[in-house]
Structures are given as C-alpha cells and as structure tokens.
Amino acid sequence: MCALKTNRLVAVSEEDYQSNCFIPIDELSWQEETLFMGWLKDVPFPVLFVRKVFTNKDGSTGILYLACSDTTVTRKLILATYQKRWPVEFFHKSLKQNAALGKAPVRRVVTQNNHVFAVLYATFKLECLKIKRHLNHFALRAHLYLKATRMAFDELQALKAA
C-alpha cells in the first residue's frame, strides 16, 4: 500500500495497459465510495485505487490517492490500514528532520552504526519530552531554536556593550 501523487499514470483496463494508454489518477471518474482496479504505469501487476477526501485543520480540503497490491481487500480496510500506518510515517519524518538521520558525513560502518544509535536515542529523548511537555517533536525543536537564538542575541548585546 502506498500513497500516489495526482499525476501518477494509471490504466483501468488490461487493454489500456497493454496498449500503453494511461491517464493521471485524478482524471478517473471518482464517486464517493469508488474502488478501482487497474494498473500503474511501469508496474506489471494490477492494483486497487482508492481516493479519500478529507478536511485539514485549517478548513481546506485535501485528496489522498492510495494504491494497494492486495486486490482482495475492501476500500474500508485499505483506508483503515493506511490510517494505522500514519504514525510510522510521522516517526520516520521526525527521525530524518529532527534527529538528522540522513545527515551524517560518515563512511565507515562503525561510525554509521554509532550515528544511527545516537539518532534513535535522540528520538527516544524527544518522545520523553513530548509526553512531559505535551508538544510534538517539531514544536519542541522550534522551542529549542528560539531559546538558542535568544541566548545568542543576548550574548551579542553583551559583547556590543563591552
């Protein structure tokens, strides 16, 4: 199961797939509870397509397109499974952006292992702070940056006064 971009090319019949006749997924004739079976471009087996329309916190509308390789499941099960998977996506994003998982200029296996361990430990500490402060990882990082900037500005003012 994976999310798809709106311009991902799909074919809804085997004939269209064989003749290389694809259209963007957002151009399919979607209804409220529609579940399409078709082929993704460059994928040799059929998949199920689902569209979920949702409202963001700011009131804007978002559309999520999903593809599932198990063609025996229902639309409801696809959406429920993706919903369960979402916290994992948030965790991976936090590993990469807040704990710098991919930003280690290391080449040796030992130093790579040490970096991954340090990232996991830092993420564990972020989770502890998240529970204690009732803030998410990104809010905690913003708070730390603001505090560090204030301290640096205060130090700059002290140096100017001297």
Residues 52 and 81 in one domain: yes
pLDDT digits (tens, 9 = 90+) for 74-93: 999 999 998 888 788 888 88
Domain assignment present for 32: yes
Range(s) of the domain holding residue 15: 2-85
Select from 99, 78, 80 the least CA-distant residue to 35.
Answer: 78
Domain assignment present for 150: yes
pLDDT digits (tens, 9 = 90+) for 133-147: 999 999 998 999 999
Give the predicted TM-score (pTM) of the model.
0.63
Domain assignment present for 119: yes
With tokens 């502890």, the residue in question is: 128
Q: Long-range contacts: 72-78, Cβ < 8 Å, 24+?
A: 73/48, 74/35, 75/33, 75/34, 75/35, 75/50, 78/1, 78/35, 78/48, 78/50
Overall number of domains in the chain: 2
Residues 78 and 102 in one domain: no
Return the ∠ at Cα 29 (arms to 12 and 70), rounded to 5°.
Answer: 45
